Amino acid sequence: MANEVLQKTGTALVWAGGTLSSGTGFTKTSGNDLTLASLADNNARQGVKDDLGATRAAQYAVYLGVEFGTGPAVGAQVEVFWSASPSATAGTGNTGGCTGADAAYFSAAEAELDEHKAGLLYLGSLYATADGNGSFQRQMIGWFRPPERYGMPVVVNKSAQSLHSDTDEHYVAIVPIIDEIQ
Residue 64 lies in a domain: no
**Which residues fall within 8 angstroms of residue 93, CB to CB, at 6 or more apart?**
85, 86, 87, 150
Residue 96 lies inside a defined structural domain of this protein: yes
DSSP structure string for 106-158 = --GGGT-HHHHHTTSEEEEEEE-----TT-EEEEEEEEE--SSSEEEEEEEEE
32 domain-assigned: yes
Residue 101 lies in a domain: yes
- Contact assessment for residue 18 and residue 167, using Cβ atoms and an 8 Å cutoff: yes
CA distance linking residue 42 with residue 104, whole number of Å: 12
Q: How many CA atoms lie within 13 A of 60 on its CB side?
A: 25
Nearest to 155 by CA among 176, 133, 131, 125: 125
Helix (DSSP H) and strand (DSSP E) numbers for the chain: 1, 11
Q: Is residue 65 part of a domain?
A: no
Residue 114, Cβ density class (10 Å: 0-12 exposed, 13-18 middle, ≥19 buried): exposed
Q: What is the Cα–Cα distance from 36 to 105, expressed in whole angstroms?
A: 11
| Domain assignment of residue 71, yes or no | no
| pLDDT tens, the chain, 182 aa long | 688 999 999 999 999 999 998 888 999 999 999 999 999 999 999 999 999 999 999 999 999 999 998 889 899 999 999 999 999 999 999 999 999 999 999 866 556 788 899 999 999 999 999 877 777 899 999 999 999 999 999 999 999 999 999 888 899 999 999 999 98
Q: Are 154 and 82 in contact (CB under 8 A)?
A: yes
Whether residue 73 lies inside any domain: the answer is: no
Please check whether residue 116 lies inside any domain of the structure: yes
Nearest-angstrom CA–CA distance, 80 and 66: 12
How many independent structural domains does the chain possess? Answer: 1
Containing structural domain, residue 91: 5-59+81-153+161-181
pTM of the model: 0.94
